[in-house]
Amino acid sequence: MTPERWQRVKELFHDALERPADERAAFLAETCGDDAEARAALERLLDAHARADDFLETPAVGTAIEASRPPLTGRVIGHYEVRGRLGVGGMGEVYEAYDRRLKRSVAIKLVPSSDPRAQARLWREAEHASGLNHPNICVVHEIGEAEGHAYIVMEHVRGRPLAEAIPEEGLPVERALGYALQITGALAEAHEHGIVHRDLKSANVMVTPEGRVKVLDFGLARRLADSVSGPPVETSSWTMPGMIAGTLSYMAPEVLRGERADARSDVWAMGIVLHEMLTGERPFAGQTPFELSSVILSGSPRPLPSHVPAGLVVVIRKCLEKDPAARYPTAAELQAALTAPRLGRQSLGARLAASLLEWRPQGWGAPALLMIGLLLLAGLAVSPRWQRLMRLSGGGEIQSLVVLPLANTSGDPAQDYLSDGLTEALIADLGTIGSLRVTSRTTAMSYRGTNKTIPQIGRELGVDAVVEGSMARESNRVRITARLVEAATDRQLRALTYEGSVREILLLKREAVREIAGGMRARLTPRDEAHLNLVRTVDPEAYEEYLKGRYYWSKRTEESLRTAVEHFEAAVRGDPTYAPAHAALADSYNQLGTVMLGSAPPSVMRPRAAEAAIRALQIDSELAEAHATLGFIKHYDWQWAEAERELRRALELNPSYSLAHIWYANFLVCRKRLDEAVAEVRKAEELDPLSMVVLTNVGWTLDLAGRLPEAVEEYRKALELDAGYVQAHWRLGDAYARLGRYDEAAREVERAVALTRRSPSSLARLAQMYAKSGRRIESKALLDELLVLSRRQYVSPHGISFAYLLLGDDSRGFEWLEKAYAERSNGIAYLAIDPELVPWHGDPRFRDLLRRVGLPE
């Protein structure tokens, strides 16, 4: 094509763009007439423009050389017979080809050997993709050069780009999640091998007819540094100095600022793709490249629609944090977040099964279909989620469930304590089955009165089965009804009804647990069998007092804890042989002796707790709650080996006891075993994802592990569940202060002071916060108020010591720290890990204190 003819084609191309898409064919027919060459060039330009509508993705007019080149169809390059052209772009062309040696269809990407930049990109793509082995990454078979062309030969993926598979209103949540898990799996494989994609977008993801995803185009990929800030393993790139690589709509803010892309930049792009899949549009928009760049750098993403589960909204929001440090560090962690129970999703196996059931291939023989099925099953066999689906569909065991709150159908709200108590008892007993994961009480109770379906609840919590039922009491008779339901299908597995006198309530509960366990086909160890056969005898009135105590314990305020103590003490008086009442009493004493909830000195409360916990274990040596509580006591008494032994024993006896995971994580933090601590709180979060206590402790553990942005996110999630949860305000304030956001930090702690009606512990926290932010006069005023209060009520010396230290009065700070040591304040256990105390690590007084407590330096 001559330059003059090419100029005319470009003019017609721009004229065509100004017309609606459905009028362009008639326009081409009219303007080109019999000029087939010009019409073919225009059609290729329009097709390329439709596929590359983003700034920095090669514009259609930049494909002049390739668009004007005659197609290579029918040529033989190497031992590949070139067939139809699949696509064309500024850096080369892609054809379907036939491999004459291996008798198979392949895709072949070619660039002119005369273009060293395009060839370098092609070799880079081949090098990176060929080093990856993952079912969701397009396989590279060969690289070569022949007849003036450099080429790579790849797996021929039949399907269509994800960009074309997304309808205007977006994909259903389940399908979007299914695709997202596959894409993040591919990215995780790349990140694990030190490769960042740098050009992830919906146009670079193919979706096969059966719903399998393939990530393409590693041409912009670059090897990651050994760390985010370290030197790169490989620094060369096909991009020129100062050139930004990638597609603007998917480009992370740090890349736009000229910084090096890393795994977190791919996470940002994945957030864009997720938003695009769910809504049909990208989260950032602009009329010009400058406007779009400005929105990406400083604007907020478009809101997600209400049908997107809240947990998924949180994940996408984290992906699209402007600060890379606030995002998931790798695609593997993003993938883990997408599988979290609170996202409200089906299992991957269920989605793949649904995709297979919907697939209706045309013109395929039975042998071919059978072979495809076998290959798919072979590939999926290693997936735990697929295995789980196969177990359930084949009548296998259930591995996870939630017990929904038993409805009180007595018509008497005063009996709520009984229905709640029975619910908690079922959760506790089923949780002792080692092969079963049971959702914890707080999350289960959040579904009280829900109108959600069983499949919805199952998807949200990621469980195989749901137990639901009711309790009715009339005079001295009680009736329990329940049913075990397979979550994914709403199929009833077992139904049961028990009725008897209130005196037989523990026997009724035992029978219900055994029936549920039988319906689950759970693997029971001899210990499990013995536990399920055990029926504790207890005085009925004492048991009612115990259930009332549990009801008030769950409210987790100082007032409710004191009421719980009254009921537990009454239960112990009524039946001194009932071990759970002793253990619950110990838990209450422990919490009343903490500055977070109570206002009593630990030197008074902890010995009471120890006595009650030991008494519980003397009665029942396999009571998980008693071992956990004793571990808590040993931890804060600095009996480190005994504490770990008791906490681990509790988790052996009841792996689903979320508080035991939290308390063990707290212990591990003190020992500076931070990776283990994070793993433990994540287990607790999986068991109890809607618990403010759990979420706040997850945040605190991440905070102490130096992962502040993630910690802030967890604190915010806790406050979204309950804006009045004091501990989350305290912890969030501390995190903001360490981030230098002192005004926000002060507001959080001031909110805690208001919520607690100026409790001494909150005032001490605020005095510390003001000291950190330079508000010394206000800090000293609060400190004086605390000293006056300490003359007539208990004030933790630990809080006062920190205020003095932060004000620069080391002498008084260590004086009060010694008082905290003498009473074994809970905070003393965290001296070695508390980031506020780093300036004093070299002080001989501090080092001596660490030695006496037995903490690592």
Residue 702 has pLDDT above 90, yes or no: yes
Distance (Å, whole) CA 57 – CA 52: 6
Distance CA 16, CA 642 (A): 79
CB 438 within 8 A of CB 513: no
Q: How far is CA 830 from CA 60, 628, 856, 857, in A?
A: 61, 19, 10, 11
Q: What is the pLDDT of residues 518-564, one digit of tens each?
A: 777 666 777 676 666 665 666 778 888 888 888 888 777 788 889 99
Helical ranges in 146-262 per DSSP H: 162-165, 173-192, 253-256
> What confidence category does residue 127 fall into, taking pLDDT thresholds of 50, 70 and 90?
low
pLDDT in tens, 227-256: 333 333 222 233 333 333 447 889 899 888
Q: For residues 95 and 107, what is the distance between their CA atoms, to the nearest angstrom? A: 6
CA dist list (Å): 518 to 374, 439, 657: 33, 19, 21
Q: Please determine, for residue 775, whether its predicted confidence score (pLDDT) is greater than 80.
A: yes
Residue 587 a catalytic site member: no
pLDDT at 536: 61
Is 195 in a helix, a strand, or coil?
A: strand
Least confident of 189-193, 383-387, 403-407: 383-387
Q: What confidence tier does 679 reach under pLDDT thresholds 50, 70, 90?
A: very high
Q: 669 and 830 in contact (C-beta within 8 Å)?
A: yes
Banded pLDDT at 678 (limits 50, 70, 90): very high
Q: Which amino acid is at 366?
A: A
Q: What is the pLDDT of residues 410-428, one digit of tens each?
A: 888 878 888 887 888 888 8
Q: CA–CA separation, 250 vs 199, rounded Å?
A: 8
Which CA distances in Å does 672 have to 211, 678, 703, 764? 45, 11, 13, 26
Instruction: Name the more confident of 318 and 345.
Output: 318
Calpha distance 469→257 (Å, rounded): 57
Residue with tokens 């042989």: 577
Residues 80/108, Cβ–Cβ less than 8 Å: yes
pLDDT band at 734 (very low <50, low <70, confident <90, very high): very high
Beta strand 104-112 pairing with 491-501: unpaired
* pLDDT per position as a tens digit, 261-294: 889 999 999 999 999 999 999 999 887 777 788 8
For residue 724, what are the contacts with CB-CB under 8 A and spacing of at least 6? 755
Q: What is the pTM of this model?
A: 0.53
pLDDT tens readout for residues 782-841 = 999 999 999 888 899 999 999 999 999 999 999 999 999 999 999 999 999 999 899 999
- 459 neighbors 344 (Cβ within 8 angstroms): yes
In total, the chain counts a number of residues equal to 857
Task: Tell me the mean pLDDT in the region 560-573.
Answer: 91
359-385 residue pLDDT tens: 334 444 444 444 444 444 444 444 444
Give the three-state DSSP class for 593.
coil
Task: Please tell me what DSSP assigns to residue 279.
Answer: H
Which of 54, 99, 199, 575 does the annotation list as catalytic?
199
Q: How far apart are CA 221 and CA 198, in angstroms?
A: 6
Distance CA 432, CA 655 (A): 7
The most confident of the ranges 5-19, 73-87, 194-208, 391-405 is 194-208
- pLDDT tops 50 at residue 29: yes
Q: What is the C-alpha to C-alpha distance for residues 122 and 218, in angstroms, rounded to an integer?
A: 9
